[in-house]
Amino acid sequence: MAHRKSNFIHKSWAVFRKDIQLEFRTRYVINAILMFALTVLTAVSFSIGPLRLRVEIGAALLWIILFFSAMSGLAHIFVREEEQQTADTLRLFSRPVNIFLGKWFFNLLLLYSLEIIIVPLYFVFLNVPDPVLSIFLPVLFLGSFALASASTLIGAIISQASARGALFAVLTFPIVLPVMFSGIHGTQLSFARASFLDCLSDLQVLLSFSVVILTGSVLLFEFVWRK
Amino acid sequence: MLRNIWKFLLLIWMGVVIWGAFTYTPTAKALGETTRILYFHVPCSWVATLSFLIAAISGILYLVKNDLKYDLWAENAAHLGLFFTVLATITGSIWAKVIWHPFWNWDPRETSIFILLLIYAAYFALRSAVEEDEQKARLSAVYVILAFITVPFLVFIVPRIYDSLHPDPVINAQGKIKMNGKMLQVFFASMAGFTVIFFWMLRLKVQTALLERKLQMRKFKKLTENRDV
């Protein structure tokens, strides 16, 4: 039993390692998604100028930047398999659930590494109040977790459709709206110097949403992937 | 003739509901004459939600049984759902214009019906972006199920974050129905009538789609036969 379990993780890890190696060979996605996020950030910052933002607007802008940055790159992991015609080989070598988990983990890591760069720049460029870190960081962590989890399955869906780029955001937006609502609300609380207990319900929503969407995705992925 | 008698009964039923909505029922205190839109607006949004449920169930059935018939059910339920969502949005907006003045102000109820509209629109965008029938059915089934499992979050979260001005606190405080007897009679009669009309429309649409498919198959067969000669 223990052997099978480690084998399961090992296989998902193998898919993840393959994708990481491919990514570092070209660094295509990380560059594209980072430049896209920077463009959105500077566009927002330029258009606002030196105004001091109300906390509601500052929090909403942060999540809009994160959402569109995620939409610019998170589908690529499946689109690449279709474009380079490697999907069929992957189908032969690995079980759907391992493929999904490997790619989900890649997306999660991609979004987190993006945020390590973008979020500090957000505070530099936009004139928003200092957040309470004990609220801001958990909200950001769980919100990105939910965002990456929901968009991985949709990335798999749109990789098999035409008009991929536009479709990805269109399909993801209604599904991640609960994440946006709670993420924005939690971030507002952290700017307004609320206590940790106030944002507990937002964190609960983000966590339970992630669990539900991840379970649903693991169950549904097989139907998207098989041909 | 006898088989179709329920259609005439339905006609009479809906006629009585319309008459009742405008003359028989009293109005709610704070809302005045605008109360009467309730008997048409609420059934529309109920049917819009019901068709979303049917689309999700048909999606699950398609994935389990792999029969394109279920995809037809899902697609047509979504068509009707979109239609009734638009009706609910419009009737709601007209009412909002009278009571709240702007047509639209992102009240939680407006937000949730708008999200339903977005999900239906995204569903059809996805369907039009996939060429092959089986693949279209598979991908759209997965999407509609995924969208459906996030609905509870919207229902419980959106109203928690923003205060609602929707009049169910006036008519329906703490989830208990506080309409008087006459209002309740017409309200539930209207809900039942709309539900029956919806299922009738859905059945008609699915039957038409099945016939169209048959016709296409026949045309295709003819074409291939001619080519052989």
Which residues of chain A are modeled with pLDDT < 50?
A: none
**DSSP per-residue string spanning chain A:** -HHHHHHHHHHHHHHHHHHHHHHHHH-HHHHHHHHHHHHHHHHHHHHHTTPPPPHHHHHHHHHHHHHHHHHHHTTHHHHHHHHTT-HHHHHHHS-HHHHHHHHHHHHHHHHHHHHHHHHHHHHHHS--PPP-HHHHHHHHHHHHHHHHHHHHHHHHHHTTSSSHHHHHHHHHHHHHHHHHHHHHHHHHHHHTT--GGGGHHHHHHHHHHHHHHHHHHHHHHHHHH--
User: What pLDDT score was predicted for residue A198?
Assistant: 81
- CB contacts of B126 in chain A (<8 Å) are 157-158, 161, 167, 171
Query: Is there a domain that residue B221 lies in?
Result: no
Which region holds residue A163: left if phi is over 0, alpha if psi is between -120 and 50, else beta?
Answer: left
Task: Pick the residue from chain B with its C-alpha nearest to A171.
Answer: B122
- CB contacts of B121 in chain A (<8 Å) are 170
ipTM: 0.88
Are the Cβ atoms of B147 and A212 closer than 8 angstroms?
no
Task: Pick the residue from chain A with its C-alpha nearest to B159.
Answer: A181
**CA–CA separation, A139 and B195 (whole Å):** 42
The pTM assigned to this predicted structure is 0.86
User: What pLDDT score was predicted for residue A215?
Assistant: 93
Shortest Cα distance, chain B CAs vs residue A25, angstroms: 31
**Residue among A138, A224, A146 at smallest CA distance from A179:** A146
- Which domain covers residue B132, as residue numbers? 34-216
Looking at the partner chain, which of B126, B145, B157 has a beta carbon nearest the beta carbon of A171? Answer: B126
Are the Cβ atoms of B150 and A182 closer than 8 angstroms?
no
Phi first, then psi: give them for residue A49, nearest 5 degrees: 75, -150
Are the Cβ atoms of A181 and B157 closer than 8 angstroms?
yes
Q: Read off the pLDDT of residues A121-143 as tens digits, 9 standing for 90 and up.
A: 998 888 888 888 888 999 999 99
**CA–CA separation, A177 and B108 (whole Å):** 13
Q: Assess B163–A contact: CB distance below 8 Å, yes or no.
A: no
- CB contacts of A159 in chain B (<8 Å) are none
Query: Is there a domain that residue B182 lies in?
Result: yes
Looking at the partner chain, which of A167, A177, A212 has a beta carbon nearest the beta carbon of B115? Answer: A177
- CB contacts of A155 in chain B (<8 Å) are none
User: What pLDDT score was predicted for residue A1?
Assistant: 52
- CB contacts of B114 in chain A (<8 Å) are none
Are the Cβ atoms of B143 and A171 closer than 8 angstroms?
yes
**DSSP per-residue string spanning chain B:** -GGGHHHHHHHHHHHHHHHIIIIISPPPTTTGGGGGGHHHHHHHHHHHHHHHHHHHHHHHHHHHH--HHHHHHHHHHHHHHHHHHHHHHHHHHHHHHHHTSSS----HHHHHHHHHHHHHHHHHHHHHT--SHHHHHHHHHHHHHHHHHTHHHHHHHHHHHS----SHHHHSGGG-----HHHHHHHHHHHHHHHHHHHHHHHHHHHHHHHHHHHHHHHHHHHHHHHH-
Report residue A188 as tokens.
Answer: 């507002």
Q: Assess B125–A contact: CB distance below 8 Å, yes or no.
A: yes
Number of domains observed in the structure of chain B: 1
**Residue among B80, B90, B86 at smallest CA distance from B58:** B80
- CB contacts of A177 in chain B (<8 Å) are 115, 150, 154
- CB contacts of A212 in chain B (<8 Å) are 149-150, 153
User: What pLDDT score was predicted for residue B174?
Assistant: 43
What are the extents of the domains in chain A?
A: 2-225
Are the Cβ atoms of B129 and A153 closer than 8 angstroms?
no
Are the Cβ atoms of B146 and A154 closer than 8 angstroms?
yes
Q: Assess B29–A contact: CB distance below 8 Å, yes or no.
A: no
User: What pLDDT score was predicted for residue B162?
Assistant: 57
**CA–CA separation, A85 and B166 (whole Å):** 52
User: What pLDDT score was predicted for residue B83?
Assistant: 93
Looking at the partner chain, which of B115, B129, B147 has a beta carbon nearest the beta carbon of A163? Answer: B129
User: What pLDDT score was predicted for residue B173?
Assistant: 42
- CB contacts of B131 in chain A (<8 Å) are 162
> Positive or negative, the Cα torsion across B50, B211, B143, A165?
negative
User: What pLDDT score was predicted for residue B204?
Assistant: 93
Query: Is there a domain that residue B19 lies in?
Result: no
- CB contacts of A157 in chain B (<8 Å) are 126, 139, 142-143
Are the Cβ atoms of B161 and A216 closer than 8 angstroms?
no
- CB contacts of A154 in chain B (<8 Å) are 143, 146
Q: Assess B141–A contact: CB distance below 8 Å, yes or no.
A: yes
Which residues of chain B are modeled with pLDDT < 70?
A: 1, 29-30, 155-179, 228-229
**CA–CA separation, A16 and A200 (whole Å):** 32
Are the Cβ atoms of A174 and B146 closer than 8 angstroms?
no
B-interface mutation test, from A223, A225, A226, A227, most B Cβ less than 10 A away: A223
